[in-house]
Structure 1
């Protein structure tokens, strides 16, 4: 085994990637996979649910946006709870809620029940964002941190694509009447993820920050596959104590406010157009005259979701080789360039629409990997989960409003103006990134936290 002493570097930041890390990566990946699945399967199910339950445009919008409202509340309220009581406890509780709400969808009889259950699903998803990403970030060596945390966004896309494949299969076999089984299928994946999470250790950074030195020593010893001494853990504790101390209120004040707004607003600008496609993809494609309902539009949605996934794969390398800031900026440049033609020429031929939609998904997929990386790297252990939760909440305010308005915009304004609104959002994200994006590649978490007091200046 490779021995890492406190003299040779940070016990975790400069440590090896072990078998435990790989198991933890798989376990933490299960959460984003399930999140992507649960938030996307509704895109296929809504057509059948709308027909059977008689949903109007307003109820349809609420059914699509309910999970985002829940996600806002779950991330905002449960991120601070995770910082207070630890990552590991919440790691399981949120999965139980996901499973229960999914299974309950089998018994939906009206639109209100659908909206409420989607709200509960969103609460659980919102809790998992800060839990899984903070836990994994605090265990990873810095040279692998960006790519691995970015992978969580990629596996989110895998979950979304799986949702549409399941939805396509069920629609093809049983018609739109299978919508209840589509929504309930998330419970099966939830049980699998829960089994993957058995045996996970608490974050050693959180343990030492809370004075639980011996627990941290045992956890790190198991992870590094060697006997870590108390002196090494005390050295780790001294490094963590040097971090900037903060509480939830600190995220809304100098010097962290700019980082909070940057993470939340850029995440919103990436997420809103994506959620529009994830939630209403078949409906949007139908507005452009593609497909004739049911399985054909769902198949087009699968192609677009593959674009998000394919675009994210090279970005996992670029985020370490090129850096976070350039990747963020060029993502918005490309996404805006590919949305603009769809807004200007909504009556274009089918191949034109699909080509530019697909190019947009490639560009947006590359930027997606940054939405978990930045909030986990820019904030200290004391508020890391809170910061991820708050950034998620900010992004979902816009995403929930936007998702609710999509059916209204499509029916009232049309496909072209709706795409131009998406173009405006990507330009806003570009301006924010040029102004505020920092480079965090290959830097220790403690140094990023400490440095903010000197490097972040917010206009008074």
Structure 2
């Protein structure tokens, strides 16, 4: 049975919610930034550190592998100890490791630091998104959660600008990699004083504390019964393996992986990929990569505007269809004109926007409070381990098979995402958080 409207689920958009949305978006911004900046930095540091194909792939994939561990482990920890405690600790780790990257002298040192940064970013995903989902009313939840990916692409675009600025500076790669500490420091300051999630407090039986947070955020007339969740439930990781939740894990983790494997490969080695297509390398390749990043960002805008009217399921299906088409064009026509190549990349990038938006909406909506961060972390981990393997193997594929077959492999992966979406994607638009996460609501 659907829950009646509540003061929390139907509350207005407030300054608190705006602030929470802005600073929760810091993790995605940093993820996009650190992923793209390494692809540009590799153009300089590769010769300086004498990287071979193995170390190029390892360093390119290091942060993604760290994201796997960070998401899988710290999502569960966040469900155990709370969202507030972890909300700034992970950012401090990013600041320290980013600065240390400026002083590396060996490939192994850089790999270790990139891996550690990935762990911290992976930890931030379940922390920040769960916190935002649990405060956001249903009318704004899809837009706010989906809007986080806009910051991912904004981070990627910013990295292209920073990379372009330092591309011709001797040792500029050190400044590129160390620059991630600046937005991380701003986020630490901005996140200070954020309250704990009332839903999480209720799930742990801390009713008085939850009541205090609700009144602080929503007003003096709001109490526990307005929340829609009033039961204390123990956090058990194995609950994710129960049939209905396992099905949701397979769906979210699977389509997310199919989406990000080609996407992250393009981002990490964007200039090299454009060079393999015969487009000029150097600063112009960086600018071309930046143009593709802009289309990734632009694709998110219609998705955010339509997410409540069009719905989650049709948006995902149509997007995967056009993404698959674009990848096949690149695979079958590697010697096409510059206009066709850039247009195909732009088509893929633009229609990557809606699935990217749903990457943050689906996992937060489909799982209850006591395992929400664990589920987000696990789905993030599944997607990133696939992306890490794809990013590591991409230099080998380009070297062994060439650009056409490499793009065809990406096309097949994207096609698998389309098939998974067609058969498994649920619809959650208009539901409360409790309704969407209930096993009785969605088949």
Scaled by the length of structure 2, the TM-score of the pair is 0.96
Indicate which of 105, 108, 123 corresponds to 1:109.
105
The match for 2:187 is 193
2: CA distance, partners of 1:163 / 1:397: 23
1:12 aligns with 2:8: yes
Aligned pairs, how many?
441
2: CA distance, partners of 1:180 / 1:91: 27
Contact 1:244 1:380 in 2 (8 A): no
The match for 1:168 is 164
1:207 aligns with 2:201: yes
2: CA distance, partners of 1:388 / 1:399: 16
The match for 1:385 is 373
1: CA distance, partners of 2:155 / 2:88: 19
2: CA distance, partners of 1:255 / 1:189: 39
Unaligned stretches of 5+ residues in structure 1: 1-6
How far 1:12 moved relative to its partner? 1.7
Aligned alpha-carbon RMSD (Å): 1.6
Q: Deviations over 1:355-389 (max 9, x none)?
A: 11111100112221010110000000000000000
The match for 2:127 is 131
Contact 1:68 1:119 in 2 (8 A): yes
The match for 1:35 is 31
1: CA distance, partners of 2:51 / 2:78: 37
1:223 aligns with 2:217: yes
2: CA distance, partners of 1:294 / 1:117: 26
2: CA distance, partners of 1:218 / 1:74: 31
Contact 1:68 1:396 in 2 (8 A): yes
How far 1:397 moved relative to its partner? 1.9
Indicate which of 353, 366, 369 corresponds to 2:354.
366
Indicate which of 362, 384, 408 corresponds to 1:420.
408
1:65 aligns with 2:54: no
How far 1:455 moved relative to its partner? 4.4
Indicate which of 270, 280, 287 corresponds to 2:276.
287
Indicate which of 172, 178, 184 corresponds to 1:178.
172
The match for 1:270 is 259
2: CA distance, partners of 1:443 / 1:455: 11
Contact 2:204 2:232 in 1 (8 A): no
Point out the more displaced range, 375-384 or 213-222. 213-222
The match for 2:243 is 254
The match for 2:47 is 51
2: CA distance, partners of 1:68 / 1:29: 18
1: CA distance, partners of 2:202 / 2:93: 29
1: CA distance, partners of 2:239 / 2:207: 26
Q: Deviations over 1:27-56 (max 9, x none)?
A: 111221122112221111111111100000
1: CA distance, partners of 2:232 / 2:430: 17
Indicate which of 65, 76, 83 corresponds to 1:80.
76
Unaligned stretches of 5+ residues in structure 2: none
How far 1:453 moved relative to its partner? 4.3
What are the within-5 Å matches in structure 2 for residues 223-372 of structure 1? 223-224=217-218, 226-228=219-221, 232-233=223-224, 235-236=225-226, 239-241=228-230, 247-291=236-280, 293-372=281-360
Residue 118 to residue 448, structure 1, CA distance change in 2 (3 Å): same
Residue 25 to residue 299, structure 1, CA distance change in 2 (3 Å): same
2: CA distance, partners of 1:356 / 1:331: 14
Scaled by the length of structure 1, the TM-score of the pair is 0.93
